[in-house]
Structure 1
Amino acid sequence: LLLLWKYRVIIGFLTAAFFVAIFWGNISQYVNQIDAFGLNSDRDRFIRLLFQPVLVLWALLSTGVLQAWLNKRKAFSPL
């Protein structure tokens, strides 16, 4: 990301989209009790589900996606 600073907003958006896309797979692993990636208990899989939105928010905030969206929204606001 340091080398591609000019593209940080795009990278942040794509990272957040990736976290949202894999969220459904994580729900499936929890519901169907599938062991993967060292998560072999329902408690571990549930904790991962709780932190998934945190990862999405982190990707959006740390790369400036939300700020860029708010600035663009203000630029087109009639008020």
Structure 2
Amino acid sequence: MTYQTKTTLTQNIFRILLAIFMLYAGFSHLTFNRIEFQSQVPDWVPLSKDLVVIVSGIIEILLGLGLAFWKKERTRFGWALALFFVLVFPGNVAQYLDGRDAFGALDSDGARLIRLFFQPVLIAWALWSSGAWQAWRNH
């Protein structure tokens, strides 16, 4: 059973912005940033780094499309995207600990450390903008 809640115009704007961000990120995983994203895959992952990047890119595209267009299930997509952000966080931590540069901007320990603090923001953004958090609280 899906628990829905009404979302505000502001939430919907931020939901669509997040969906666009996910579509862009997913597309970039599959194309022009494919090698860069491989630097985030920890060495302990027992799969090909390229395969992980491709699969995560496809998942990002699907989550972005669902968040943008599947209104009836938007709270589930909000939870799924929040979970996705939790699951990829170890890759960001590994990139920081291993000192791996990426994207031109992540070229110092400081930049990689600051990036880690944005993951909770993305999780909160997904839950708030989709109405998932409010629906759970109302339930």
Q: TM-score range by the shorter chain?
A: 0.7 to 0.9
How far, CA to CA, are the matches of 1:66 and 1:16 in structure 2?
Answer: 11
Amino acid at match of 1:60: L
| Segment drifting more, 29-38 vs 7-16 | 29-38
Q: Displacement of 1:36 after TM fit? A: 2.4
Q: Displacement of 1:46 after TM fit? A: 0.9
**Structure 1 position 3 matched with structure 2 position 69:** yes
Q: What root-mean-square deviation, in Å, do the aligned CA atoms of Structure 1 and Structure 2 show?
A: 1.2
How far, CA to CA, are the matches of 1:29 and 1:11 in structure 2?
Answer: 27
**For this pair of structures, how many residues does the alignment match?**
72
Amino acid at match of 1:36: A
What do the CA deviations read for 1:29-79 (whole angstroms, capped 9, x no partner)?
A: 10111122331111111111011101101111110111111111xxxxxxx
Report the counterpart of residue 122 of structure 2 in structure 1: 55
Rg larger in structure: 1
Matches within 5 A, 1:3-42: 3-38=69-104, 39-42=106-109
Percent of pairs identical after alignment?
53
> Which structure would you say has the larger RCO, counting Cα contacts within 8 Å and 6 or more residues apart?
1
**Structure 1 position 67 matched with structure 2 position 134:** yes
How far, CA to CA, are the matches of 2:125 and 2:138 in structure 1?
Answer: 19
In structure 1, runs of 5+ residues without a counterpart are: 73-79
In structure 2, runs of 5+ residues without a counterpart are: 1-66
Report the counterpart of residue 43 of structure 2 in structure 1: none
Report the counterpart of residue 13 of structure 2 in structure 1: none
How far, CA to CA, are the matches of 2:90 and 2:70 in structure 1?
Answer: 29
